[in-house]
Structure 1
């Protein structure tokens, strides 16, 4: 490819990044003079690329609004970043459709220089994932787009949902936001029929449709925090209440926001905060057997307020550790 052709393509790339580009700026970026920039613009116009001249003190060139751009031109690093993002999304379950992600990755992979492809292979071989490929169910792409449209325009939403017990039904939702957490996609919002907040897994939504009307979202809304607190306060078999002496950061390292609610004690006005206060920690869980080793790993004083079954499990766990430590 000749040098002028490369510069014409570079000019198109600068213009398609948006906004008005002055002749001086373009000349500096391309390493040519202003007269050459105007000649390159004429080349683009000859190729039916609608470049507009903007007059005035801050004038220059821009692409016409609504112009459908030709295929993206990516540098080696940009192509590598795009392909790596697609492949990592597939491996971790964050992409919405295997077919679309796979074909897009294949198209980029085919045009990569061999040396760049080898770099990518080396990166992928060095990566590890906490979940195996295909370990999570993906939401339907049309469902995801419909829900996102309802969130953006604050429109009521009707979804066909299957809960964890296999029960199917139609749900009405004022959707506040979409959250990706631990390889799954969730939509959170309010159920106007019962006046309560709800969170639904998108891969369990068989269909979604936007309804007439609109709604207002609460001030200061944080959808991600809402989803995490919903996990921590959901209805499960056991309600656990602990008092742990330590910092919130130390407790959160073992019991994150999606698992537990951590509250600091009230402090009298003017009193200095304790370095390691007694924190109130509440959990709702289906099983208790994973908690004794977590409490041991905290290495902080703790009191079990409820349930008694957890206290028995902790004592049994401590006895096993003591017995094994004494073995020759």
Structure 2
């Protein structure tokens, strides 16, 4: 028996979960103990997770769940997965992209030739639009130091291994970079960006980090027990934005705008402004508090809302807005 056939036979013997001694393997394959030891070293060098236990009751066995039972998929099921892979590749960052490539090759190998030729380049038959540029809700851009692909990959790898991650995260609004050690819980995709959901060891509740603002991420050696009650669905509908706004309100500047009931109803349907603080006034109007405002954003919002909307704070921008509106009015009166 050649070494390759023997290595495959050893793998099959180790998959049952029961410890198999080197003596048993030597007897089964009719080779010396030294040859078996060399075979085990070869398997380990290939990255195959063989657990070895010493002592009289010791032996070898394959790490649990290393070899999975075969999964039978229909032609349509296989094609649907390949289409999904093509869609995912349209994103700015594809989680675990290298592993996705090998999975795709395995799926393609299971298809009949005609279907394989059609789907071998899924990008030719499946397209995905990138999220449009949102010029109304302006954001302060992050200095391009982070790598969203790397951040998502390391975060998912840590999640699968139930290990913490350490990274630096940039906050462009505060002009600071902070170090975090986080227990990964999940990831979500929104408006062409990935967000990492996890609990910082310094906090009691999970929070969300933008992946493209993560710098120098690494998987830590410290393991943790993933919370059984966590569900990423609880963070959909941009509920994360509501909690983020409450946090921004506590440590940042807030702009206040008085709007009519109709304008408040319109803003309550907006993906971003709906999560701002709405306070009903005795007059029937609504006071809206917007954290981390920019001059450009506030001026565009007031102009878009039109008559009935009034910027109350900050006072310096209120005066500047008045001059801007007067200049616009003069243009139309000319």
TM-score range, shorter chain: 0.5 to 0.7
Rounded Cα–Cα distance in structure 1 between residues aligned with 2:72 and 2:85: 18
How many angstroms does 1:232 deviate by?
A: 2.3
CA distance in 1, matches of 2:125, 2:164: 45
Q: Report how many residues are paired.
A: 241
Q: Distance between the aligned counterparts of 1:278 and 1:107, measured in 2?
A: 61
C-alpha distance in 2 between matches for 1:188 and 1:130: 21
Q: 1:216 to 1:264 in 2, by over 3 A?
A: farther
Gaps of 5+ in 2: 1-66, 134-145
Q: 2:194 matched to 1:185?
A: yes
Contact 2:261–2:286, Cα closer than 8 Å, also in 1? yes
Q: 1:115 to 1:187 in 2, by over 3 A?
A: closer
Which structure 2 residues correspond to residues 1-328 of structure 1 after superposition, within 5 A? 68-70=69-71, 72-75=73-76, 78=77, 81-93=80-92, 95-101=94-100, 112=115, 121=124, 124=127, 128-130=129-131, 137-138=148-149, 139-147=151-159, 150=162, 158-164=164-170, 167=177, 169=179, 171-173=180-182, 177-191=186-200, 193=202, 195=204, 198-202=207-211, 204=214, 206-209=217-220, 210-212=222-224, 222-224=234-236, 225-235=238-248, 238-246=253-261, 249-254=265-270, 256=272, 260-265=275-280, 277-285=284-292, 287-299=294-306, 301-326=308-333
Taking the aligned partners of 1:148 and 1:118, their CA distance within structure 2 comes to: 29
Structure 1 residue 149: deviation in Å? 6.3
Show CA shifts across 1:220-267 (max 9, x none).
x9334552124324547632122222355510344625x841425289
Q: Deviations over 1:165-215 (max 9, x none)?
A: 67463x344656543333333334554545576433346261234535677
* 1:318 Cα deviation from its structure 2 partner: 2.6
Give the C-alpha shift of residue 160 in structure 1.
1.0
Question: TM-score, normalization: structure 2?
Answer: 0.53
1:71 and 1:92, CA in 2 relative to 1: closer, same or farther beyond 3 A?
A: same
Deviation at 1:119?
10
DSSP 3-state at the match of 1:231: helix
**TM-score normalised to structure 1 length:** 0.54
Q: Is the 8 A contact 2:166 2:181 kept in 1?
A: no
RMSD: 4.7
Three-state SS of the structure 1 residue aligned to 2:165 is strand
* 1-structure distance, mates of 2:317, 2:303: 13
Residues of 2 paired with 1:288 and 1:172: CA distance?
Answer: 34
Tell me which residue corresponds to 2:34.
Answer: none
- Shift of residue 294, structure 1, vs aligned partner: 2.3
